[in-house]
Structure 1
């Protein structure tokens, strides 16, 4: 991705509900000298900050480089849903790699959620965290999948957090006619992601991490002492961790072909009356439906409905994000036709071919993770810990993660969007057929 993306940002967070309500945000300087560090981390999102905290807590000297502002990319503008699990089921992972690998991924998912909860408490980060999550079924096949999820949880752990909600009861949880059932998970939840990112960055800085914003990386050279180059300075390090995903661009060209940027969009309503909120989602869970091209939404701490979805692979945003997403919201909640939309925004996530996060070695003493594919809030936190473990010499979980092979998008960067557009059209039709079947 071109560095014009960073220039167009004009050094600020995306104009969003999150940016408007994040509160005080520290300003970190631009890198304007040649410096040295034990570890250089590229990317100021959840994965990079998580790795920085893990390393700094153990006394390591860390520099973190961010192209715009901490939490500027997907980490600070996503739907804010704390969701465990991976694209591959644990049974699928067991079939491919054996029981130990599958169990490790199951444990890492739970640990990723706990990192968020524990870190917010430890460093006194007020990120509007609320537990509770509903997976909403729109057809019979979705309900069947829910039973599969419960069976899997009974085998791999976490079944005590699940509760199946019947068609007769679902409207007591979501005031919509769109659903025929739901699966409640009290270990998942939701939060204000930019508050978390900013709070974690402050925690890292307080631990001694040197954070530089407005410092896009131009080049990464591996070796005994890797060198990371920006426009105004360089970092010589013993080891480098790259977590900038689709924003690394030409700085790491071998990774660019392994992921595809996709746009996803969110709106936030005006604050709603308390009695309206109490009827809309009475218990305040985050909600996500089970289609391939899905809707997700939740109530914010100040009683707005935050509604997201509409993944787009063409690289072109809707002409009017607010109007387009408002139409989608009314399909679920037609009773909100009189509500004003205060915020509308979007941005890129990074998709891998198999939708599993891609972790590995890029060059000598240079490691990376990317491809969170829209499931990043939890996965980024555990990925940061695992990469920190790797550079500190504990390779066990890194080696397990690195077993998963990742393919290049067919046609490389030139044809990956047309190919994925065909795939998304297929899934759209499949969603439509499943829903029509009931």
Structure 2
């Protein structure tokens, strides 16, 4: 599971840590900028104003000094003292950030002279570290610690769900291993929460699905075998009646209907038996020519065209040979031919054999777009007056999907239908 919950949670927490860290760093940088520019500027201005206010009341008021700055006062008309650097003494009134000398200077003029306040930038930097960098570092550490704790807690919470997702993803759709979700086989870290309840629900659902599938497969297999016995009796009895010469025309027509119905039922039973087998257990394969199967099925449907002005012919563009269950192709082609004969009252039916496909084209009633979309649905019949149960095309499609021979239908109302079996594998 390349995009499992643990990875998503890990990415979410990493993204959270990065964003919060960036926010804290930006906040720290803004604090340091405020301290370096705004705070020093306002503090030096207030210091100078306070000095001149006190000096106006006390001429002998001493110069302001602190741990982070020094000050000089130069009376009007006098030279600056030697201790005051010349480049500072020449500065105009205002606040100056001398980055090259690592200092900030406030020059203020008042009654009697000019005040110079020089701040030591190194001390200011230590002040910023104490009031900005250190809190930022502590904040980042707290963010990392909380994020790591939250990640571990979240990981512990989603671990059961992640385990359950891996187990379900590893299932074979044809035969899911629901035993891994049995209550007695669940790992201890699943606990007793929602993940365990979900595992139990999936296990119960899997058991029911297996039971339903087995029941359907057994019913199809058993019913098909049970139907074959009376069908054989009907077919043998019909063959014996056919040998009789005293049948009336009406009796002969009824006999042909019995033979046709028994043949159709036999095809349906064969298809059900094939589909009832496990997907990985294919019927016995053999090497056969497609033209041989076509010839057999064409002979079988000839009685369906008696009395109709319909010509049935075979066109061979190639002589393909397959190694597969020949009965599967017989059932598929037989259904397509039966439909073509049933829905074509005049014109022709053409069976064309090509290198990678066999197609059945008729000039029958055709199908509308809506009918064509539902043609493969089980029990669907566009014309309710026609015989059959509507299973033919559904069985053909299922057999084609099972053995890699997809069936394609093309039809135009009033012009006919083209059904193609493609030999993909």
Please give the range of the TM-score, normalised by the shorter of the 2 chains.
under 0.3
More strand by share: 1
Taking structure 2 as the reference length, what is the TM-score of the superposition? 0.18
**Larger-Rg structure:** 2
Taking structure 1 as the reference length, what is the TM-score of the superposition? 0.18
More helix by share: 2
